[in-house]
């Protein structure tokens, strides 16, 4: 009997469960890549030194420890899990903060490009979730959360401003533009 395939739209609509140990292991694998480790360390060093005095670096910037801290506070929520307090303002978000002990990571839904088996979907969700959790955990490395703008400025210092830091657009929330910018640099470090 042929396995029933999951359609992309159906995969996207699920409140897909989190494999927390799997996500953590995948983050660890990414952070063990020398290029990723060096990039994250340098990035956090710049962001922490430019941040407001009360926005202190958590756990010395040990990203996995910060992830564990978030898990011990409010943990993960899927972006479409409205019943559990998902925030409709965006797919991937660092909610609350470590200082208030209400740090949470909201993780967006994943849409496969083609119909997939359940096993493929599980593997693809895990990879997507780990990448998002790495980005959002970096936000929570600031006790009061480091912003996408702060990370974008630091990333532009590390890449010699190539590509250039996005220029503010009037009447535009730049958060997601800054987010994409520094996330692109983060991805280059672990690809």
- Output 129 or 148, the one with its CB closest to Zn ion: 148
State the virtual CA torsion across 184, 182, 187, 49 in degrees, nearest 10: 160
Least Å distance between CB 183 and Zn ion?
7
**Helix, strand, or coil here: 105?**
strand
Least Å distance between CB 162 and Zn ion?
21
Least Å distance between CB 126 and Zn ion?
20
- Output 69 or 149, the one with its CB closest to Zn ion: 149
Least Å distance between CB 136 and Zn ion?
7
Are 166 and 178 spatial neighbours (Cβ–Cβ below 8 Å)? yes
CA distances to 29, 87, 93, 108, 184 from 90, in Å: 27, 7, 7, 8, 18
Least Å distance between CB 182 and Zn ion?
7
- Output 11 or 70, the one with its CB closest to Zn ion: 70
**Helix, strand, or coil here: 107?**
strand
Nearest to 138 by CA among 75, 62, 190, 46: 62
- Output 179 or 189, the one with its CB closest to Zn ion: 179
- Output 67 or 121, the one with its CB closest to Zn ion: 67
Are 121 and 7 spatial neighbours (Cβ–Cβ below 8 Å)? no
Q: Which residues bind Zn ion (CB under 5 A)?
A: 148, 179
Alpha-carbon gap, residue 11 to 26, rounded angstroms: 21
CA distances to 19, 67, 136, 138, 141 from 98, in Å: 22, 10, 12, 12, 8
């Amino acid at each position: 009997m042929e396995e029933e395939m999951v359609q992309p739209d159906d995969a996207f609509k699920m409140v897909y469960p989190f494999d927390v140990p799997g996500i953590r292991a995948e983050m660890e694998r990414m952070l063990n890549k020398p290029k990723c480790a060096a990039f994250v360390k340098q990035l956090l060093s710049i962001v922490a030194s430019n941040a407001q005095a009360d926005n202190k670096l958590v756990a010395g910037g040990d990203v996995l420890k910060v992830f564990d801290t978030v898990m011990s506070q409010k943990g993960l929520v899927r972006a479409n899990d409205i019943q559990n307090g998902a925030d409709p303002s965006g797919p991937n978000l660092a909610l609350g903060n470590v200082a208030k002990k209400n740090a949470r990571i909201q993780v967006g839904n994943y849409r496969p490009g083609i119909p997939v088996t359940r096993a493929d979907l599980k593997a693809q969700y895990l990879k997507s979730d780990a990448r998002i959790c790495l980005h959002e955990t970096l936000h929570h490395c600031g006790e009061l959360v480091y912003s996408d703008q702060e990370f974008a400025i630091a990333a532009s210092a590390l890449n010699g401003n190539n590509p250039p830091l996005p220029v503010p657009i009037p009447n535009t929330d730049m958060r997601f533009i800054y987010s994409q910018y520094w996330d692109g640099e983060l991805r280059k470090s672990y690809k």
